Structure 1
Amino acid sequence: MPTARDFLSDVVAADGFIATDRLTGELRITKIELANAAGLSREAVSKSARLKAPSTQARLRDVVEIVNRILPWAGSVQQAFAWYRAQPIPSFGDQTAEDLVKEGRAEAVKRYLSRIAVGGYA
Structure 2
Amino acid sequence: MHSIDYFNHHGQADPRKVAFILRTSITELAVAAGVDQEELQGPQMMSDETQNRLDNLVDVLNKVGPRFATPVMAYHWYRSEPLAGFDGQTAMQLVQAGKAQQVVEYIEAVGAGIFY
Name the one with the larger helix percent: 1
Structure 1: state its 5+ residue gaps: none
Percentage identity across aligned positions? Answer: 28
Matches within 5 A, 1:13-28: 13-28=8-23
Alignment match, 1:100: 94
CA RMSD of aligned residues (A): 1.4
Matched position secondary structure for 2:18: helix
Tell me if structure 2 keeps the 8 A contact 1:17–1:52. Answer: no
2: distance between equivalents of 1:38 and 1:120? 27
Counterpart among 88, 107, 117 of residue 111 in structure 2: 117
Kindly provide the CA deviation profile for residues 61-99 of structure 1, in whole angstroms up to 9, marking residues without a partner as x: 000011111111011100000000000001101100000
Count how many residue pairs are aligned between Structure 1 and Structure 2: 116
Counterpart among 23, 27, 30 of residue 32 in structure 1: 27
Matches within 5 A, 1:63-74: 63-74=57-68
Closer, same or farther in 2 for the Cα pair 1:45/1:116, shift >3 Å? same
Shift of 1:60: 0.1
Shift of 1:105: 0.8
Matched position secondary structure for 1:100: helix
Q: TM-score, normalised by structure 1?
A: 0.87
Counterpart among 8, 12, 15 of residue 7 in structure 2: 12
Are positions 1:41 and 2:36 aligned together?
yes
Give the number of the structure with larger relative contact order, counting CA–CA contacts within 8 Å between residues 6 or more apart.
2
Tell me if structure 2 keeps the 8 A contact 1:115–1:121. Answer: yes
